[in-house]
A = this chain, B = another copy of it.
Amino acid sequence: MIEQELIGLFEETFPFWNKMSEADRGTFLRSSQYVRFEKGTNIHDGNECTGVILIKRGVLRLYLLSDEGKEITLYRLFPGDMCILSASCVLESITFDVFVDSEENSECVVLGGCAYEDVARRMPEAKIFALESALGRFSDVMWVMQQILFMSMDKRLAIFLLDEISKTGEDTVRLTHEQIAKYMGSAREVVSRMLKYFAGEGLVAASRGGIQLLDKRRLRELAL
């Protein structure tokens, strides 16, 4: 990756880039690596500080992993997004282990966590940016948790979708999110967000005129 391209990426990502000293910019540039990750690669396993990951192409998935190998997807990152939870040395207050996989062939720039932390010690803007980014994800994660813990919304939606196709004999549920929400006694926003989560997990796909059920086996497991 040519330096000019890297500078452009930093400019877009870090709102404090233009305030950085020449020396600090040099530190960022020297501490960055352009990396391609093949689909399925584990990029971060919660142990070492992998660094701040900027996604140029592809998709990264963040998840929790239990000792027994069970996973819960927290959220996904797309081109233009930044992964900060993988920079454990920047975020000392984060003590839980999060895993990051490349879900597609991905192209990323990995900026060393120590370099970021070094700059953040001098620049409160950099520190605040990292903390706010991480805290924003806290809300995403809480949403997933609440749906699973309280409402079993994942389960209820899976049951609803399977019920619908068993009635119609099709693979596609021809209802709007609004209608589904009404039938389930939920809110449209909740249904839309959970369908997006399902789509990310490869369980359903938005298709013309409805929601196509892609993986009925896993939906049935969810519905148990």
- Interface residues, chain A, CB within 8 Å of chain B? 64, 66-68, 70, 72, 91, 93-96, 124-125, 127-128, 131-132, 134-136, 138-139, 141-143, 145-146, 148-151
Contacts and interface: CB of A to CB of B under 8 A. Distances in A.
A135 B142 contact: no
A68 B150 CA distance: 8
One complex includes copies of this chain to the number of 2
Contacts of A134: 135, 138
A136 B93 contact: yes
Given A66-B146, A96-B146, A124-B127, 12 more contacts: A64-B150, A66-B151, A91-B135, A93-B136, A93-B139, A95-B139, A96-B139, A96-B142, A124-B128, A135-B138, A138-B138, A148-B149
A145 B127 CA distance: 27
A124 B127 CA distance: 9
A49 to B, nearest CB: 16
B131 A135 contact: yes
Give 10 closest A-B pairs by Cβ, nearest first. Answer: A124-B124, A66-B150, A131-B131, A93-B136, A96-B142, A95-B139, A93-B135, A138-B138, A145-B145, A96-B139
Contacts of A72: 149-150
Contacts of A151: 66-67
Given A91-B135, A93-B136, A70 B124 contact: no
B138 A94 contact: yes
A64 B138 contact: no
A221 to B, nearest CB: 16
